[in-house]
Chains A and B, each alone.
Chain A
Amino acid sequence: MSQWLNAAFRHLKLPEILLFKFDLCANEAVTNIISYAFPENGIHEISLRMSFINLVASLEIEDDGIPFNPLDAPQHIQPASLEEAKIGGLGIDLIRHLMDECTYARHNGRNVLKMIVNVPKIEHSPVASPYNQH
């Protein structure tokens, strides 16, 4: 997935500086989907679509699992000390912090998570079409 994202970034001429953010958030989101949206295991499909249109960089992740909205997870509360820190639950929190906007929708029996970063300045004007992976 990281290699695909790398290729998508080159294809769309997205600023390299955003690659780490999207790589991280894609990994966190897909990990969550695999953990929660497929309770019955079996073969499932997760598709990713990276686009860059009008200074909006957007990664859409779609899966055919049970309804699962990762954005429903409660806000992470910063523990006062290492002793009080709980293990886990940090993935969605990283997504919330690193993305400018996240939306979730259930469409045609599929979960659709959209993660967006508004790109303030660009050096190249993108002309390419969206980049897909299934």
Chain B
Amino acid sequence: MNIIDEQLNSGVFKINLSGRMDIAGVAQIEAKFEGMTAAPRMAIVVDMSEVPYMSSIGIRALLMNAKAVRRRGGKFALLSPQPDVKMVLETSGIDQLISVCSNLDEAVSKVIS
């Protein structure tokens, strides 16, 4: 997997993930992912549009980071998951815990409100 960070003008910190979010994929990015969601960042959008596959290990990575951000009062949203990945988020009920948005404007408004 690949992970790229992007500071948006709105003050939102965007993290772009790409590749299969399976055991091997998550192992490649988890340390960087954790670093990118660390303080002082309070408004984080994770772009999932380039992730074609996600297993429970991927859910775990998203949950851990979302929980860490929430614990210090920050906000965390997911952007544009592909249909199969969206189905996994819905099946596991993660979409009830973390905002899942279909466009950037919506995601930005979720995390800066």
Measured CB to CB, the residues of A under 8 A from B are 2, 20, 23-24, 27-28, 31, 76, 78-79, 81-83, 85, 87-88, 90-91, 93-94, 97-98
Contacts and interface: CB of A to CB of B under 8 A. Distances in A.
Interface of B: 20, 22-23, 53, 55-57, 59-60, 63-64, 66-67, 70-71, 84, 87-88, 91-93, 96-98
The A contact surface, by secondary structure, is helix
Given A20-B84, A23-B53, A78 B70 contact: no
Contacts of A85: 63, 67, 97
20 contacts: A2-B20, A20-B84, A23-B53, A24-B88, A27-B23, A76-B93, A78-B93, A78-B96, A82-B67, A82-B97, A85-B67, A85-B97, A88-B60, A90-B59, A90-B92, A91-B55, A94-B55, A94-B56, A94-B88, A98-B91
Contacts of B88: 24, 94
B84 A94 contact: no
Given A24-B88, A82-B66, A98-B91, A91 B97 contact: no
Nearest to B22: A27
A31 B97 CA distance: 25
Nearest to B91: A97
A94 B94 CA distance: 12
B63 A87 contact: yes
Contacts of B22: 2, 27
Nearest to A91: B56
B70 A83 contact: yes
A88 B55 CA distance: 11
Nearest to B67: A82
B91 A82 contact: no
Given A94-B91, A94-B92, A20 B53 contact: yes
A84 to B, nearest CB: 9
Contacts of B53: 20, 23-24
The 8 A-B residue pairs with the shortest CB-CB distance in the complex, in nearest-first order: A91-B56, A90-B56, A20-B84, A82-B97, A78-B93, A97-B91, A27-B55, A90-B92
